[in-house]
Amino acid sequence: MAKKKIKDIVEEMLSGFLADHELELFNLEYVKEGKARILRVYIDKPLAEDGAEQYVSIDECELVSRYLSDRLDEEDAIEENYTLEVSSPGIDRPLLKEQDFVRYAGRPVDVRLYKPLDGKKQFSADLTGLRDGIVLLKDEEGNDLEIPRDAISKISLAVIF
């Protein structure tokens, strides 16, 4: 079965269940690592009504894992052996969707580029938004940066202790 089709099947299986439990599908991967196949499901919670961040619990990961495992077995949706992993995106979550750039505007991010900008391929900045495929940032000196999204290999929330 093609990876795309498996991802579509899993998304369909999860959509109603996640909504019923006030969860969201953050990302889904079906990958081969060495000889093993891994189905990784990342779940998230929407912002609270007051705009506060909510976090996924271990119990919620377990709930989704048990549900999805049972459904995949019932449907026999994946013919080959695989390992199912369900987790949250973590505090250093990557920004993948357009809505992530809106949700986390004003937050510090770590940016990795494919090609150096001013001699650097990695740097930290504050995310100010996304406009027409351009990521808007403010660097540590307060300069505004505009970087095409396709020039960024990875952008994730910075972890600050």
| 17-51 pLDDT, tens digit each | 999 999 999 999 999 999 999 999 999 999 888 88
| 49-64 pLDDT, tens digit each | 888 889 999 999 999 9
Residue 156 near residue 93 (C-beta atoms within 8 A)? yes
Residue 108 near residue 126 (C-beta atoms within 8 A)? yes
pTM of the shown model: 0.85
Beta strands in 53-101 (DSSP E): 83-87
Burial of 154 (0-12, 13-18, 19+ CB in 10 A): middle
End-to-end CA distance of the chain: 44
Q: And the tokens for 11? A: 């998304």
**What pLDDT does residue 57 have?**
96
Residue 84 near residue 37 (C-beta atoms within 8 A)? no
| 104-136 pLDDT, tens digit each | 999 999 999 999 988 889 999 999 999 999 999
Q: And the tokens for 86? A: 């369900």
Q: Which domains does the chain have, with CATH numbers?
A: 3-87 (3.30.300.70), 98-157 (2.30.30.100)
Q: Confidence class of residue 1 from pLDDT cuts 50, 70 and 90? A: low
